[in-house]
A and B are shown apart, each in its own frame.
Chain A
Amino acid sequence: MENKHEELFILIAGRSSRQGTSMNESKFSKDYLEEIGTVQVPPEDMIRLGLVSGDLVCVRSDFGSIKIPCIAAKEKELPSGLLFIAYGDWSSRLMGSDTHGTGMPNSKGTDVYLSKVGSLET
């Protein structure tokens, strides 16, 4: 059953080592798809929202929405209220297409809403 309680976060899409290395094997490799298909959430926010690593969450922006598993970010890496997804197919779905006359849409610092979808154990 979906939990409709949504919370506002700011999403940063960026590079990661694992995204970079796995991409060289293949963009269809398990490692790559996993790395770009996971959202990192600050530990204190995980606790507050009742999430454990592996839970499916819905991340929604003004431009699209995705359902992907979440994982607790390493201690202190993300301040409360910030999410991180390694660049790729999933993060791109949350990105708008308006480039504001620059050719580049805003892909960092996007307002998104996070809600729990379900736990993998149920």
Chain B
Amino acid sequence: MAITRIIGGKIYDPTNGINGIVRDIWMENGKIIAPPVDPDSVIEKVIDATGRIIMAGGVDMHCHIAGPKVNLARKMRPEDKRNARHILKTPLTRSGTVGSVPSTFATGYLYAGMGYTTAFDAAVPPLGARHAHEEFQDTPILDKGFFLLMGNNHYALQQIAAKEPEKLKHFASWLLDSAKGYAIKLVNPGGVEVWKSGGANIHEIDEDIGHFNCTPRQIIQGLTQTAMDIGLPHPVHIHCNNLGLPGNWHTTMATMDALEGRNAHLTHIQFHSYGGEPDDQSKFCSKTIELANFVNSHPEITVDVGQVLFGETTSLTGDGPLGYYLHKVTGRKWTNADTEMEAGCGIVPITYKEKSFVHALQWAIGLEWYLLVKDPWQISMSTDHPNGGSFLAYPEIIQLLMDRNYRNEILQRIHPRVLERTSLKDIPREYTLEEIAIITRAGPARTLGLINKGHLGIGADADVTIYNESPNILAMFELPFFVIKSGKVVVDKGEIRLQVPGNTLYVSPSYDHGFVPGIRKWFESFYTIQFENYAVEDKYLSGDGTLVPCVKK
């Protein structure tokens, strides 16, 4: 078969210990291969990357790009798109809109244009899985998957309360298999159910959640163990209780403690790192140091940041009561969408301002996280798109991490009290290109358990990003020279050259079918669709679909 060779590029492939070495890359059939020994091998294409930097395609491990709540956010905010960038159609590509929640085709093109080739939607309710898959089919180029909401799932809560870990395990497996999801997601575990039942929210992980007779701690422990027992490629993915509230660092610390050494991923950790008191804004401060110290001494925990950037965006979360809270605080329009037996959602437009003490502190806390976690393999870049900001801001974050002068320039501009409430000005650390490669591709791929992504070793998927080396970090990362997906050039200096569908990445954990009648009985009592119409068929997969194996340890 035909081979493509990339010559002369300086490679950053931290997974394989390659740090700025000029070396060839060989690709065939969508994979990275060893240099061919057969002298008669046909080399179809040679890409000259001399003077350029090469990394594996970017991997975004936490964003909101497809499914019911993302689409509600699109519908809700025409004003967000009217004066934003337009994506014009070309003979090869579809048109689209951007703003803070881009349309599906635009999402694929923009990510690819920026050198990303894999992305995961962070929160889909099983009842809406079919919708997420349909949108994925209209999100080109990217390989993609989603995390499945379980932390407020009634059946799961019942098994946790009844101390039935076996039933829980088989249910979670059946659910992931039915929805063709990728990982177990907890969003404000128990808290969304409390809200739907007429309560306010949950603030402590040992609070009883009422009808279901269990606590967030039990949900966290139960499903964390379940993810491990099933052997999922990615550990449980946790959006802690109490997001956004001053003083919530206690909840985060308690959550991490509750893990008792188990593998887990805590997401958009910036939003969960606040000291102070809910009723006194002036006491709001950063507790990143304490929390990062914990992460630094617990290699089994990984985090992604959820960086806030200044400007207009949309908060879009499975955390229903958080939506209400943001609506009360900002006064802006609010959408809530609850899904029977499973989940909730809240959507509120939000503008982060440099001159706002709270917003500026949030911005600083995000950066503190990147700079205080010692091992870059434990921390992934994210903005929790679009909650903290758009994924299009990733190049700016890279600049903030690699250039402390730029960082400090902004520090001088924002609300002055932030200087005293965070340690940011005292952190001289600047990220190297190798570390950037870790937090934007190698690390997320490893955390997700994607052994063929995030690196350029033999057998890896041939997803390659070629950057123009430049002292202008922003320009370098905003506009790669070439982006290659499955061995084919898909983007050439920002222009889409080939529209490929990308593959859905999903798991299909095995489970004991003997448990299904019990699940079915519960389902048929409470749901409003037929049990047979719940599972998602293969035809909804994007591209060929890639089944990622579970490995029981």
Do chains A and B make direct contact within the complex (CB under 8 angstroms)?
no
